Amino acid sequence: AVMSRVHNGGDAALLEFNQEFDGVEAKKIKLDLSKNEFEIDAELATAIKTARENITKFHSAQQEGSVKIETTKGVSCWRKSVAIQNVGLYIPGGSAPLFSTLLMLAIPAQLAGCENIVVCTPPSKVNPDQEGNVLVNNVIGWTCQLLGIKEIFLTGGAQAIAAMTYGTESIPKVEKIFGPGNQYVTAAKQLVQKDGVAIDMPAGPSEVLIIADDSASPRFVAADLLSQAEHGSDSQVVLVSNSKVLIEEVEVELANQIIALSRREIAQAALENSQSILVNNLDEAVDFSNTYAPEHLIIATENCDKLAGKIINAGSVFLGNWSCESAGDYASGTNHTLPTSGYARNYSGVSLDSFIKKITFQKISEEGIKTLGPAIEKMAEAEQLQGHKNAVTVRLEKLKENV
């Protein structure tokens, strides 16, 4: 119902939903960021700039040149990476707007060369301008300006996904939609695929699996488990270890550390659904992890580099005692948009690749078709596709005429 109201009603429907769902009265959906100034804490600004730099470095290295392959003399084939022209980024709002997700999606989109980058986020009640107009969350606004994003669209939830799929008076239609969200956003992303839009990946609750041995710090392991548990009561946190002592020490640390967390009730609920698993050896731990296919995998063992080589299903892997998941969540450079719910078996996380298509090209010379033509004719004939064969035959005949 939400989807079709947006499809038919456009901006007007979005403004109604802003009132209905977010309790916010906005005058318009499009916010021209150049007309506003956003101020944030200086240390936070520096931190965001550092993250931006690292994310840029890591994703720039994913750019691929075009290599021509001469598969047969006179037959040149190559691939070219071309940006998806119009992409939509959904940035959830609520109490803690995820400016980190904005960095993780907008930076590779810009590096890929996407022509239109449409950013949708719920309107912010707490941040009106001098004339009382509803604005965007301050840090989101500031980060957009840092990235050179000039406008943003104040709409959230399933209605934002619908708007980017069908287009409205102010929101351009896009070809691929990225970004996390609640169950309504997830459901909407699944639905719109039928209407020709691609999505980044199927979404589910966030997870971490930690493989740890006696060399791991129980304090660090507990902190990493809690950092995942605080995401939501449906978050999965799993500890797999060959050390009973470590598992017991981590339990003690969990009990100590959880007290200080503001989101401790959520974290507690997540922990109650989670498990510590004692295995006979670390190879068993790796097998378990490969079967589980975790979104995040921390390997806090002495031989972590060796074990890393055996990982076949995981979204992102963190090696050793000092590589906490939050590093990848925010600032080390890797992308934090990763496959959950076992989808690490068949999907990659977001990367530059997510924002491009690879188009194949070929150029065949007279010599090339002369050499390769008879093979094509033979195969087309065997598949009973005479027209396919004929496209070669007319060319070979022409070459004979020319002799």
Residues serving a catalytic function are 295-296
Element holding 69 (H helix, E strand)? strand 69-72
Cα–Cα distance between 50 and 149 in angstroms, integer? Answer: 18
| 295 binding its own copies? (CB under 8 A) | no
| 363 binding its own copies? (CB under 8 A) | yes
Among 97, 108, 122, 157, contact with its own copies (rule: CB under 8 A): 97
Rounded least distance, CB 132 to its own copies, Å = 25
- Contacts for 353-357: CB closer than 8 Å, 24+ residues apart: 353/62, 354/108, 354/176, 354/178, 354/200, 355/83, 355/84, 355/87, 355/108, 355/109, 355/111, 355/112, 355/114, 355/176, 356/81, 356/82, 356/83, 356/84, 356/112, 357/81, 357/82, 357/84
Cα–Cα distance between 371 and 130 in angstroms, integer? Answer: 73
| 48 binding its own copies? (CB under 8 A) | yes
Residue 317 Ramachandran class (φ > 0 left, ψ -120 to 50 alpha, else beta): beta
- Contact predicate 349/337, CB 8 Å: yes
Task: Using the minimum distance from each CB to its own copies, give the nearer residue, 13 or 189.
Answer: 189
Among 95, 183, 280, 402, contact with its own copies (rule: CB under 8 A): 95
Task: Using the minimum distance from each CB to its own copies, give the nearer residue, 82 or 126.
Answer: 82
Among 77, 187, 191, 269, contact with its own copies (rule: CB under 8 A): 77
Q: Which stretch binds its own copies (CB under 8 A): 6-14, 23-31, 152-160, 366-374?
A: 366-374
| 172 binding its own copies? (CB under 8 A) | no
Among 101, 111, 107, residue whose Cα is nearest residue 139: 101
Among 384, 400, 402, 403, contact with its own copies (rule: CB under 8 A): 384
Q: Which stretch binds its own copies (CB under 8 A): 20-28, 56-64, 154-162, 164-172?
A: 56-64
Rounded least distance, CB 296 to its own copies, Å = 10
Site for its own copies in 328-347 (CB under 8 A): 328-335, 341-347
Rounded least distance, CB 279 to its own copies, Å = 21
Rounded least distance, CB 108 to its own copies, Å = 13
Rounded least distance, CB 209 to its own copies, Å = 13
Burial class of 35 by CB neighbour count within 10 A (0 to 12, 13 to 18, 19+): exposed
Rounded least distance, CB 20 to its own copies, Å = 25
List, edge to edge, every strand of the sheet that includes 30-32. Answer: 30-32, 151-154, 116-121, 86-90, 176-178, 198-199
Rounded least distance, CB 277 to its own copies, Å = 21
Site for its own copies in 225-254 (CB under 8 A): 226-231
Among 105, 91, 84, residue whose Cα is nearest residue 174: 84
Among 61, 102, 157, 160, contact with its own copies (rule: CB under 8 A): 61
| 265 binding its own copies? (CB under 8 A) | no
Q: Rounded to 5 degrees, what are φ and ψ at 80?
A: -130, 135
Q: Which stretch binds its own copies (CB under 8 A): 31-39, 95-103, 154-162, 238-246?
A: 95-103
Cα–Cα distance between 219 and 209 in angstroms, integer? Answer: 16
- Contact predicate 352/111, CB 8 Å: yes
Diameter of the chain by CA atoms?
A: 88
Among 224, 240, 300, 340, contact with its own copies (rule: CB under 8 A): 224
Q: Which stretch binds its own copies (CB under 8 A): 14-22, 118-126, 219-227, 280-288?
A: 219-227
